[in-house]
């Protein structure tokens, strides 16, 4: 008898026994007879993978976003997804991660040091390069898929940079951005949209590089706004001062879905709760965007993942249904407080990264691999297995 048959027989026996004892309803018996969700296996491979990253969106922040936006727990769209686990985010030499190590581990399968972008732990921040670690985006480029990265943050910030660049220091924006135009695999990111235009320009200027010189050298315009990118440009690069993440994501999705071989899309939205309302609202808005994107894809050939690069020091320690979660926020905001700890009526925020595991939720082909406790490097394996790819050595 196969393991699956044994599980079904055991579940049915348990259900029959419960009903015979009178200690369970027919509904309970039916639930007991169902195979566990995590045992189901999706058929085939993913043609597309979409990774959503709430930067600093830990378990507490995701929960609080639901309560703030809807007045109740478990009301976010992603909280209805059937596959979930807890992702451990530590770097190789500490317990609390920054975005550089956190995202690098997710997209390369290799933990590194804080501050290091997609390089191995043999690197030292700001002093010595480590071995470049091949990202899932680089694998996608190598396999001929279309790729896209969208963020509300500077496009050179640690989280988006980890997908396309390699650096021993996340702060070297002037060296990071040009790497998007000199890819190690394929022709580089097809759709690249983020903010940080002024700061990136200043750092590149120190190296004798400008947006114009990059654009001319690679015959690829770098637009200052999303609206400036012509609809006919199938590979737009947008570095703006601010980004409308929803508009940028839907634009990217339309462009990537036009390809035949499939795509990888990475979307980041900042969820740090230094400002509690802003951070939680970003999670709620990202969740609505995820629901909209899900309605536009086929889950029979697409894997969607939601996670965070690290957690953050927020907790709900009070409040009642029918009352605003962020009671006292306006008074705190009016004080323009710069204190390390934000103390509202029902919420306290220690304005720092923390070491707790972060949620990882998934739906679509290959989503059943997201379950239990695991290191964040497991999410790289989930994406690679969904695509049907085996990591290559020596890259």
Span 7-44, pLDDT tens digits = 433 443 334 343 333 333 333 333 333 333 343 445 68
pLDDT attached to residue 316? 98
CA angle 269, 271, 275 (to 5 degrees): 130
CA 94 – CA 97 distance, rounded (Å): 8
Residue 317 DSSP SS3? coil
**What is the phi/psi pair of residue 65, to 5°?**
-65, -40
Indicate the pairing of strand 222-223 with strand 48-55: unpaired
> Between the CA atoms of 329, 325, 347 and 57, what dihedral angle is there, to the nearest 10 degrees?
-100
Residue with tokens 């889950």: 299
Stretches in the chain below the pLDDT threshold 50? 1-41
Closest of 230, 289, 263 to residue 76, by C-alpha: 289
CA 206 – CA 10 distance, rounded (Å): 68
pLDDT attached to residue 219? 97
- 50, 265 contact by CB (below 8 A): yes
pLDDT digits over 348-386, tens only? Answer: 999 999 999 999 999 999 999 999 999 999 999 999 999
Residue 244: half-sphere exposure toward Cβ, Cα within 13 Å: 8
CA 56 – CA 62 distance, rounded (Å): 10
pLDDT attached to residue 392? 86
- 192, 201 contact by CB (below 8 A): no
**What is the phi/psi pair of residue 62, to 5°?**
-65, -45
- 155, 250 contact by CB (below 8 A): no
Please give the order of strands across the beta sheet that includes 311-316: 311-316, 347-354, 341-343
- 261, 145 contact by CB (below 8 A): yes
Residue 175 DSSP SS3? helix
pLDDT attached to residue 44? 80
CA 117 – CA 123 distance, rounded (Å): 10
CA 127 – CA 89 distance, rounded (Å): 24
pLDDT attached to residue 6? 39
CA 61 – CA 99 distance, rounded (Å): 16
Total-model pTM: 0.89
CA 377 – CA 362 distance, rounded (Å): 15
pLDDT attached to residue 43? 60
pLDDT attached to residue 210? 98
And the tokens for 23? 């200690």
Proportion of the chain above pLDDT 70, given as a percent: 88
CA 248 – CA 292 distance, rounded (Å): 13
pLDDT attached to residue 16? 35
Indicate the pairing of strand 347-354 with strand 311-316: antiparallel
CA 362 – CA 376 distance, rounded (Å): 14
CA angle 242, 152, 202 (to 5 degrees): 60
pLDDT attached to residue 338? 78
pLDDT attached to residue 214? 98
> Between the CA atoms of 358, 190, 184 and 91, what dihedral angle is there, to the nearest 10 degrees?
-10
């Amino acid at each position: 008898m196969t393991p699956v048959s044994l599980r079904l027989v055991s579940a049915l026996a348990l259900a029959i026994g419960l009903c015979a004892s009178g200690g369970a309803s027919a509904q309970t018996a039916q639930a007991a007879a169902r195979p566990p969700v995590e045992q189901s296996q999706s058929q085939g491979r993913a043609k597309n993978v979409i990774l959503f990253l709430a930067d600093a969106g830990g378990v507490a922040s995701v929960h609080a976003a639901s309560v703030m936006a809807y007045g109740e727990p478990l009301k976010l769209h992603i909280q209805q997804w059937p596959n979930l686990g807890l992702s451990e985010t530590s770097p190789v030499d500490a317990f609390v991660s920054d975005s550089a190590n956190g995202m690098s581990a997710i997209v390369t399968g290799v933990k590194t040091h804080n501050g290091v972008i997609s390089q191995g732990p043999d690197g030292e921040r700001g002093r010595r390069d480590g071995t470049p670690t091949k990202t899932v985006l680089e694998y996608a480029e190598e396999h001929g898929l279309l790729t896209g990265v969208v963020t509300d943050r500077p496009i050179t910030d640690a989280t988006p940079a980890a997908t396309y660049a390699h650096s021993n220091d996340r702060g070297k924006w002037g060296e990071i951005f040009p790497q998007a135009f000199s890819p190690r695999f394929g022709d580089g990111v097809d759709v690249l949209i983020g903010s940080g235009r002024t700061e990136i320009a200043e750092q590149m200027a120190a190296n004798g590089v400008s947006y114009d010189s990059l654009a001319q050298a690679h015959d690829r315009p770098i637009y200052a706004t999303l609206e400036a990118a012509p609809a006919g440009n199938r590979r737009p690069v947008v570095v703006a001062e601010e980004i409308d993440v929803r508009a940028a994501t839907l634009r990217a999705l339309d462009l990537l879905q036009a390809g035949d071989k499939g795509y990888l899309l990475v979307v980041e939205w900042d969820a740090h709760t230094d400002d509690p309302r802003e951070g939680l609202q970003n999670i709620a808005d990202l969740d609505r965007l995820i629901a909209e994107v899900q309605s536009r894809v086929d889950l029979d050939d697409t894997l969607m993942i939601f996670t965070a690069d690290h957690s953050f020091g927020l907790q709900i320690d009070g409040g009642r249904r029918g009352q605003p979660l962020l009671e006292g926020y306006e008074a705190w905001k009016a004080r323009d407080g710069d204190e390390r700890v934000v103390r509202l009526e029902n919420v306290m925020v220690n304005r720092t990264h923390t070491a707790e595991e972060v949620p990882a939720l998934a739906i679509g082909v290959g989503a059943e691999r997201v379950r239990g406790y695991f290191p964040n490097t497991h999410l790289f394996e989930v994406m690679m297995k969904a695509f049907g790819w085996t990591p290559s050595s020596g890259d």
